[in-house]
């Protein structure tokens, strides 16, 4: 029995020694132990959070940045599968890009054990920066959307502009394409909320849509539901919601015939503020039109009175 136990222990020890001396196909085991399994665990993780950055100096330049990988000494950058550059930075600037080409970039992390097992992939091409200046007005009863490309990066490679429409400023649908700096929505309906956004399309990519503009028809004016003094120095007003309005302006005047001046602006349908006895109006508005309520007279409460008590 002792002989059998000794034989089993001897065989197990031999197997352990053999497995720890496995041939290292990468020739980085340093001799002795380690081997392929050790390389797999000591190589860096895959590069993450790779993204583009447009704010570079040149007209046809673009940069990419990524998060640092723990244990990495440098990073290999590949274009179309071929090694292009090695850098210790976590960004790289590409200069003199062709605006008609979509580029395929791969990035791997590198340390003394080799490269990360997988490469991060990014496909990109030159794209303009987003539009910030988008305008709207009614032209012959239809929304006319216009925009300004001043200060937009890579504006010279824009081929067309895409116009989108939404009823909730979230879910946008493409409604037209143009080469002009304006677009008239001939499918406009008086009964729908119409919020517009514009993007630029180059040879292979569309820029981000950040700014939007509301050009809905307002079919009714605000109807003031309640208006009262809350104390000696405060008043409150509430009114109904007007479909298509982006915001409401509270106007104030000492006389019913005016002039009325802006008192406050809100997106809500109620308003409380420090104020005095006067006439008040509510204006519902968006980028294209506005509707004004009738004036109401609000008298503040006598000294020492408070509607909350």
Q: Could you tell me which residue, 304 or 212, shows the higher pLDDT?
A: 212
Q: What is the per-residue pLDDT for 281?
A: 97
124, 146, 164 — which closes off a domain? Answer: 124
Q: How far apart are CA 215 and CA 211, in angstroms?
A: 13
Indicate the average pLDDT of the chain.
84
Residues 29 and 83 in one domain: no
**Considering the domain boundaries, does residue 232 fall inside one?**
yes
Flag whether 36 is in a domain.
yes
Same domain (yes/no): 239, 208: no
Domain identity same for 35 and 97: no
* pTM given for the model: 0.65
The residue range of the domain holding 254 is: 224-298
One domain, residues 25 and 56? no
Of 124, 158, 192, which residue constitutes the final position of a domain?
A: 124
Percent over 70 (pLDDT), the chain: 83
Backbone angles phi, psi at 207, to 5 degrees: -80, 170
SS3 content of the chain, % helix, strand, coil (to 5): 10, 40, 50
Instruction: Tally the domains of the chain.
Output: 4
The H-or-E segment that residue 7 falls in is helix 2-20
Do 35 and 54 belong together in one domain? no
| The predicted structure's pLDDT at residue 190 | 86
Is 303 inside a domain boundary?
no
Q: Do residues 143 and 209 share a domain?
A: yes
Q: What is each CA distance from 54 to 51, 75, 88, in whole angstroms?
A: 10, 21, 21
Q: Are both 174 and 210 inside the same structural domain? A: yes
Segment 23-40 shows an average pLDDT of 44
Kindly state the average pLDDT of the residues 17-22. 33
| Best CA proximity match to 84, nearest among 56, 57, 59, 64 | 64
53 and 81 part of one domain: yes
- Pair (186, 205) in one structural domain: yes
129 lies in some domain: no
Give the model's pLDDT for residue 63. Answer: 87
Give yes or no: residues 191 and 208 share one domain. Answer: yes
Residue 295 phi/psi, 5-degree rounding, is: -80, 145
> Is pLDDT at 4 greater than 80 in this prediction?
no
pLDDT of residue 305: 66
Same domain as 210, residue 185: yes
Does residue 306 belong to any structural domain of this protein?
no
∠ CA 230-236-242, rounded to 5°: 165
pLDDT band for 39, please (50, 70, 90 cuts).
low
CATH number at residue 257: 2.60.40.10
State yes or no: pLDDT of 140 exceeds 80.
yes
Q: Quick one: pLDDT band at residue 299, thresholds 50, 70, 90?
A: very high
Q: Give 17's pLDDT tier (boundaries 50, 70, 90).
A: very low
Among 175, 196, 214, the domain-final residue is: 214
What's the pLDDT score for residue 275?
87
156 DSSP 8-state letter: G
Residue 59 vs residue 44, higher pLDDT: 44
Report yes or no on 90 lying in a domain.
yes
């Amino acid at each position: 029995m002792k002989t059998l136990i000794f034989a089993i222990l001897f065989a197990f020890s031999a197997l352990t020694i053999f497995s720890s001396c496995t041939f290292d196909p990468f020739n980085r085991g340093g001799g002795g132990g380690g081997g392929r399994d050790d390389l797999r665990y000591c190589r860096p993780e895959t590069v993450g959070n790779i993204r583009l950055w447009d704010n570079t100096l040149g007209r046809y330049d673009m940069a990419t940045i990524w998060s640092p990988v723990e244990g990495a000494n440098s990073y290999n950058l590949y274009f179309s599968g071929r090694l292009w550059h090695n850098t210790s930075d976590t960004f790289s600037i590409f200069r003199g890009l062709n605006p008609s080409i979509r580029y395929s970039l791969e990035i791997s992390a590198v340390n003394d054990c080799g490269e990360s097992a997988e490469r991060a992939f990014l496909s990109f091409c030159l794209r303009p920066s987003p539009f910030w200046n988008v305008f709207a007005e009614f032209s012959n009863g239809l929304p006319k959307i216009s925009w300004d490309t001043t200060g937009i990066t890579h504006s010279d490679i824009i081929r067309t502009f895409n116009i989108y429409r939404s009823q909730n400023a979230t879910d946008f649908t493409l409604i037209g394409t143009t080469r002009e700096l304006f677009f008239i929505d001939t499918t406009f309906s008086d009964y729908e909320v119409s919020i517009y956004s514009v993007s630029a399309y180059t040879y292979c990519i569309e820029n981000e849509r950040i700014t939007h503009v509301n050009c809905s028809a307002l079919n009714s004016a605000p109807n003031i539901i309640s208006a009262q003094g809350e104390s000696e120095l405060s008043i409150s007003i509430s009114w109904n919601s007007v479909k298509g309005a982006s915001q409401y302006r509270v106007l104030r005047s000492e006389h019913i015939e005016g002039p009325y001046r802006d008192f406050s602006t809100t997106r809500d349908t109620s308003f409380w503020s420090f104020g005095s006895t006067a006439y008040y109006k509510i204006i519902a508005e968006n980028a294209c039109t506005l509707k004004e309520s009738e004036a109401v007279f609000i008298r503040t409460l006598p000294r020492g009175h408070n509607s909350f008590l």
